Structure 1
Amino acid sequence: MTTRPDDDIRPEPVRGLPEALPPGERIVWQGAPSPWRLAVDALKARWIAGWFALLAFWRAGATLADGTWADAGRVVATYALICGIALAILFGCAWIMAKATVYTLTTHRVAMRIGAALTLNLQMPLDRIGAADLALSRSGHGTIAFQPIGRGERLSYWHLWPHARPWHAREPQPAFRSIAEAAEVADLIARHATGAPVPRPAAAPAPMPGAVPAE
């Protein structure tokens, strides 16, 4: 695994990559996190909304004990406004993170251009990836986490976050986080990592000599 922490000041010869592809290598897939799913999965938008809801109803109940329904309603409205502002900031951060990210799969490697403030280019040859684990949601979005093998350069979890497998801080695993059609991307990774041929449509059989074409 190699990194290029200074690539924010260098032009990209190829989108998402710090250098032009060598002969014989081609891009198979490129993508980025879904801002909405990144906010939900990595930034825990649902947990924050739930916490504000619990706090609002608890405060409303305490207010109702000594006040009126109108007073309790004002408390709920106040907390709802604060929650809305917090979630707007959260989704704004997720949108910025997603727009600054490019995930790339080539015939030889996995690459990640990440970082909104300080750009980091991370590259992993396919033969140095021990496993790629897929966590799939009902919407088809998912996270593909990579287990690097060997003694390559390792980054801390917080250097990678949110582009890392959750709850693996001791041995960080870079990840394609919250991407659409994650199962199809995982299948592409498996095919190119193992060298399995990509299925192609079968060619129509050649007609027999002297056969008359069907109308």
Structure 2
Amino acid sequence: MKAVSLEKLLPADVPEGERILWHGRPQWISLARRAYRADYVAAYFVALTVWSLWPASEQGWSAAALAGVKTLGLGAAALAIVAALSFLSARTTLFVVTSRRLVFKVGIALPIFINIPFKDVGSAAARVYGDGTGDIPLALLKGRRIGYWLLWPHARPFHILNPQPCLRCVAEAAVVAETLGAALRDASGQSAAAAAQARETKSEPRADALTLAERAA
């Protein structure tokens, strides 16, 4: 794992006792295809080219060729814009999994940090694609909410009304999901242990008071 500058990674240094378990960025080609829908854009302009060739062919092959070149040129320009946005988004995005939380650094022009403590996460899943990249959507607990457009394109697709953060198009998604799942289980176990200890500590004064009352009687 490469060295990471924590001053650039997080708004403040990682607290004592917290460890970085994994960090990474989206793969821009996969991001272009899955988040920015480059495949659909390409298919649309191919269909539009075929549609434009049909009436233009009645005026001769030269007119048909000109119409096809124009449409394909527009399609190439659209795909270039999608590729540029995907590349910039991937270069400016950073996902960080620590032993206590998940941090999103997102934003091309105005980078922001989104801090998601594990206590706010209900579960995590993984969807692996054929090229080895994948998405890791998170299910937040009820009452926890992050704006969809604040997360996009790193939000779970088609969940505008119930925004869910998602690690989009990361390499080795299955391994990352396993690391995140283990961290969530550890954090859940520590929270349960802390709650049990708190209940025991809170019950001790009651026991002492009851003992004193019995002795006084």
TM-score relative to the length of structure 2: 0.79
Q: Determine the structure 1 residue equivalent to 2:75.
A: 83
Shift of 1:27: 0.6
Picking from 123, 127, 130, the partner of 1:135 is 127
Q: Determine the structure 1 residue equivalent to 2:197.
A: none
Shift of 1:97: 1.0
1:24-43, Cα deviation, whole Å (9 max, x unpaired): 11111111111111111111
Residue 24 of structure 1 pairs with residue 8 of structure 2: no
Shift of 1:16: 2.3
Q: Report the more deviating stretch, 86-95 or 116-125.
A: 116-125
Aligned pair count?
Answer: 183
> Structure 1: 5+ residue runs without aligned partners?
1-11, 197-215
- Return the alpha-carbon distance in structure 2 between the equivalents of residues 99 and 157 of structure 1: 20
SS of residue paired to 2:23: strand
Residue 54 of structure 1 pairs with residue 33 of structure 2: no
1:178-202, Cα deviation, whole Å (9 max, x unpaired): 1111111001011111129xxxxxx
Q: Determine the structure 2 residue equivalent to 1:161.
A: 152
Residue 41 of structure 1 pairs with residue 47 of structure 2: no
After TM superposition, list the pairs within 5 Å mapping 1:1-215 onto structure 2.
Answer: 13-64=6-57, 66-152=58-144, 154-195=145-186
Q: State the Cα RMSD in Å.
A: 1.6
- Return the alpha-carbon distance in structure 2 between the equivalents of residues 157 and 191 of structure 1: 26
- Return the alpha-carbon distance in structure 2 between the equivalents of residues 128 and 105 of structure 1: 14
Considering only CA atoms, is the larger Rg found in Structure 1 or Structure 2?
2
- Return the alpha-carbon distance in structure 2 between the equivalents of residues 155 and 129 of structure 1: 12
TM-score relative to the length of structure 1: 0.80
SS of residue paired to 1:195: helix
- Percent identity reads 32
Q: Is the 8 A contact 1:16 1:103 kept in 2?
A: no
SS of residue paired to 1:144: strand
More helix by share: 2
SS of residue paired to 1:59: helix
Matched residue type, 1:50: A
Q: Determine the structure 2 residue equivalent to 1:206.
A: none
SS of residue paired to 2:9: coil
Q: Is the 8 A contact 1:16 1:112 kept in 2?
A: no
SS of residue paired to 1:165: coil
- Return the alpha-carbon distance in structure 1 between the equivalents of residues 139 and 82 of structure 2: 29
Matched residue type, 2:160: A
Q: Is the 8 A contact 2:146 2:164 kept in 1?
A: no
Matched residue type, 1:162: P
- Return the alpha-carbon distance in structure 2 between the equivalents of residues 14 and 138 of structure 1: 35
1:121-171, Cα deviation, whole Å (9 max, x unpaired): 11112232101121211111111111111544x322111110100000111
SS of residue paired to 1:14: helix
